[in-house]
Amino acid sequence: MKAKAQAQGLTLTVDSAGTINYHEGNSPDKRSAKAGQKRGYSFSGITSRQVVKKDFEEFDLILCADNNNLADLQANCPPAYLHKLHLFLTYAGMDVAEVPDPYYGDGDGFELVLDLVETASDRIIKALNSSS
């Protein structure tokens, strides 16, 4: 989303974080990086991190990949910030509610995830551009 926003002249703070710290500090999955690099995305310097309490205050919008992530964040989010939490694809008006987890599948799963994320990002950026 960050690259797409920049290409449209929007300045957004875009970050990614997990709900558990299992992979904290690790680089992205090699299959994910490979799929992204084929589309021109750079994964250099990216490492995983866990959501922290200040994220709820700092970010205007927190988009979740699936209902499990959403429930985890809702359980830890201060009530004043619950309105910021949404499913990523639903927020973008997609027909699919959840981003599928490609981790245990083959490489094609990462391509599907990129397709969904790119389409959702385009829709959100278009909406942001039309409201500014």
C-beta of residue 88 within 8 angstroms of C-beta of residue 82: no
Domain spans of the chain, in order of start: 2-131
C-beta of residue 51 within 8 angstroms of C-beta of residue 81: no
Active site residue 122: no
Catalytic one of 101, 106, 108, 115: 101
pLDDT at 105: 83
Q: Note the pLDDT tens digit of each residue in 99-118.
A: 999 998 876 999 999 999 99
With a threshold of 0.75, does the pTM exceed it?
Answer: yes
| Domain 2-131 is found in CATH 3.30.200.20 | no
Three-state DSSP at 123 gives: helix
The neighbour count for residue 1, using CB atoms within 10 Å, is 18
